[in-house]
Amino acid sequence: MKKKGWKWLLVGCSLIYVVGVVVVALALLDNQKLTAQWRTVYNFQPDPKARISPEVQNATLKKKIKSYQPKGAYIIIDSAENKYYLKEGDKILREGLVSTGSGEILVDPNGKRSWVFDTPKGEFFVKSKIQNPYWVKPDWAFIEEGEPIPSRMEDRVEGGVLGDYALGFGNGYFLHGTLYTRLLGRNVTHGCVRFGDKDLEAIFKASRIGTKIYIY
């Protein structure tokens, strides 16, 4: 019985040895394949003809950026510096001072409403062009002045305060003139953008319905 036990023990050890050799051989084979793959990656040489030079890449990118520029004249309003630029492509046709929103908050004494006098930011376009505009005073204008809010529309209309021209760009906001030219360059408006007379005339003549307005 002891001899048979030793015999089976030797057989078992032999099998374990054979299996171990096979496992090691397979591992070495996989390692060789992996090494060959890495060598292929590290030794890869791109085809020089397929490479795109930085100059060509830059030219392509500039062309793509240029395609986003509006066709014709467009208006840029810098509300931080209170400046405007009338541009066509990369060329500045005219520039000057404007006044934009004060950022102040007005609260209705009744506590039901409030207004923040900011100039909206973003991309807009000219929706209306008006010569000799008049101002239809909103409720906040009367509240600000401490006057009762009128019930009749004719009591809200006030002429001569918006200059000779106005360009509407939505939600009651306009590019228009001002009686207070000394305040150009400051954040003092209720949200509209005020221009000096000559600058206002220039952008009015250069604009059409659909002209882009960028405000930041």
Which is it for strands 173-176 and 193-195: parallel, antiparallel or unpaired? parallel
**Residues 96, 201: contact at Cβ < 8 Å?**
no
What does the alpha-carbon distance between residue 72 and residue 85 come to, in Å, rounded to a whole number?
14
* Cβ-based neighbour number of residue 133 at 10 Å: 21
pTM as predicted: 0.71
pLDDT tens for 12-65 read: 555 555 445 444 444 445 555 545 554 454 454 555 555 677 777 777 776 776
What is the third-level CATH fold of 71-215? L,D-transpeptidase catalytic domain-like (2.40.440)
Instruction: Report CA Rg, the chain.
Output: 38
77 burial (CB, 10 Å; 0-12 / 13-18 / 19+) is buried
Nearest to 162 by CA among 115, 99, 215: 99
Give me the mean pLDDT over the 78-98 stretch: 97
pLDDT score, position 140? 96
pLDDT of residue 6: 53
Strand, helix or coil for residue 181 = helix
Residue 136's CB is within 10 A of a number of other CB atoms, namely 11
For the chain, which residues make up each domain, given as ranges? 2-65, 71-215
Contact by Cβ (8 Å): 21, 29? no
Q: Percentage of residues in the chain with pLDDT exceeding 70?
A: 75
pLDDT tens digits for range 130-178:
999 999 999 999 999 999 999 999 999 999 999 999 999 999 999 999 9
